[in-house]
Structure 1
């Protein structure tokens, strides 16, 4: 397709096969064999386009949305279909994702903020208890690259100890496998600059700080992702509470009213082909639909190279 091929910016995923053993072992300590099997399933799902599931946890809490996988051009539409007929205002989204499309993640984040969603990182698993199988959230999960900005879109944000939140630069998906050897045109650089601007505006609209952009944009795609420390989670304003109860209150507590003071959610031009463009306060060039990239191995670990497939 040459230069006319569709361009996509994706959040690269660091892959490390040892992660499967590490996560399975940690989760097994929570709930035994069943939990270990669930962890393996989560690692497989993380390689696929993002899927949404409603998880009921009565009588302990009012449930949550499990969001597992990479963000693609279809993800905003898939979320709309999932949300149809459900009262999701003020609900909690539990993320386990290696990133994905920049502009589609921004679109998703603005929708979640408008709904007053709460966000956290974790894996939904079933554990064996004395009273039977129960659904719970294991903290051993990954939120990488553009997933971090989805986490930022939550009205309330909680990152448990044991979760991994990692950042790096955005890049062109069709050249991310060997970014240093690839060639780039002036048009390519214009698109990079434009989407960094979109990401910066989104970050500040969501209440994030410039430190999040600085930490992300300092890590090129050929280096390991930078894992944010607890102090960096606070510095970037990704962490707004240390109490999981603020995200998953008991059923006898009514959901908090959706109110985002001082924020008018304005989605940038959506790249989903069947949706009408949403007006923005900045006139931006119309982008072509993105092309989905998939991760070939589970995410996690401390090293490895990104393996997007085209």
Structure 2
């Protein structure tokens, strides 16, 4: 979940195969690329949502500003499928989202075909700093089937063999500094100390910790169990006009795996740790550098 000094670990996620009449966006390769934003139109009678797929880099906040410039995004929903990214830039992006009153969820947008309406498949990943982007939503919903996973801050260029690497006092200062920044952000966004505690207990040589439904509530990452509060229902118009459909969530804009995916998703490959930003927040395009997560 966490990153140090704006360095974050990009983690792999399972591939979701295509259905016969729709294609799930956000493949394994896309999750390893810099985050891209796209507007998913929900035609004909409801508002759409923002699809955010990939890792956060130093350029991501600026790219979101450009994406938002020609759109009315206040109160919109962001659907996340991400392996994390730069800690400082993710926090900057999250603060932008909170200022827009954006709502957040986890999922993969399904391209409409043959006249079908756009849908969201619940089988998606939100890992590392993506968890803090999820936290930035004014309203937050995590569907069954989504995987929200956290882990510890570490130096990104040494995460593959963390116990054998050496560290300087400067390295430790960077980590401590960014833990402090992240803690302030967490409380500003309405999260709890349990989120930091759970993440900081998972070293880089262990598998990421997947948050249970109880832990999603404990950390305040989930604020509603009603999908209708963050996404328009399938058969009615605006979200504002929708009654509470909590009793039948899979009939809303989220679709079950059987509908969205022709085959079962492949098992998750072992996470890979890839540094992607300098301690100052700049992008390292070629080689791993310092702390990340």
* TM-score where L is the length of structure 1: 0.74
Residue 75 of structure 2 contacts residue 103 of structure 2 at CA under 8 Å; is this kept in 1? yes
Residue from 107, 128, 133 that aligns with 2:92: 107
CA distance in 1, matches of 2:240, 2:59: 32
From 103, 117, 121, give the equivalent of 2:106: 121
Following the alignment from structure 1 to structure 2, what is the Cα–Cα distance between the partners of residues 178 and 12? 16
Superposed displacement of residue 34, structure 1: 4.0
Whether the 8 Å CA contact 1:11–1:102 is kept in 2: the answer is no
SS at match of 1:154: coil
Residue 80 of structure 1 pairs with residue 46 of structure 2: no
1:194, 1:251 → 2: CA distance?
46
Give the SS at the match of 1:44: helix
Structure 1 vs Structure 2 CA RMSD: 2.3
Q: Match for residue 33 of structure 1?
A: 20
Quick check: 1:218 aligned with 2:205? no
Aligned length: 246
Q: In 1, distance between residues paired with 2:94 and 2:117? A: 30
1:140 is the counterpart of 2:123 = yes
Within a 5 Å distance, the mapping from 1:14-29 to structure 2 comes to 15=12, 19-20=14-15, 23-24=16-17
Give the structure 2 partner of residue 281 of structure 1. Answer: none
Provide closer, same or farther for how the CA distance between residues 147 and 34 of structure 1 changes in structure 2, counting only shifts above 3 A. Answer: same
Cα deviation, residue 253, structure 1? 5.3
- Map 1:216-255 → 2, pairs under 5 A: 216-249=199-232, 251-252=237-238
Counterpart of 2:170 (choices 175, 183, 187) is 187
- In structure 1, list runs of 5 or more residues that go unmatched: 1-6, 256-298
Contact 1:8–1:173 (CA under 8 A) maintained in structure 2: no
> For the residues of structure 2 that align with 1:165 and 1:79, how far apart are their CA atoms?
23
Question: Quick one: distance in 1 between partners of 2:272 and 2:153?
Answer: 12
Structure 1 residues 242, 60: closer, same or farther in 2, change over 3 A? Answer: farther
> What is the alpha-carbon distance in structure 2 between the residues aligned to residue 34 and residue 174 of structure 1?
42
Deviation at 1:178, TM superposition (A): 2.2
Whole-Å separation in 2 of the counterparts to 1:200 and 1:308: 23
Aligned equivalent of 2:274: 308
- Gaps spanning 5+ residues in structure 2: where? 242-264, 276-286, 288-293
Query: CA offsets per residue over residues 78-135 of structure 1, 9 Å max, x none?
Result: 1011111211111100000000111110111111111110000000013557xx3321
1:96 to 2:96 alignment: no
Q: For 2:111 and 2:117, how far apart are their aligned partners in 1? A: 5
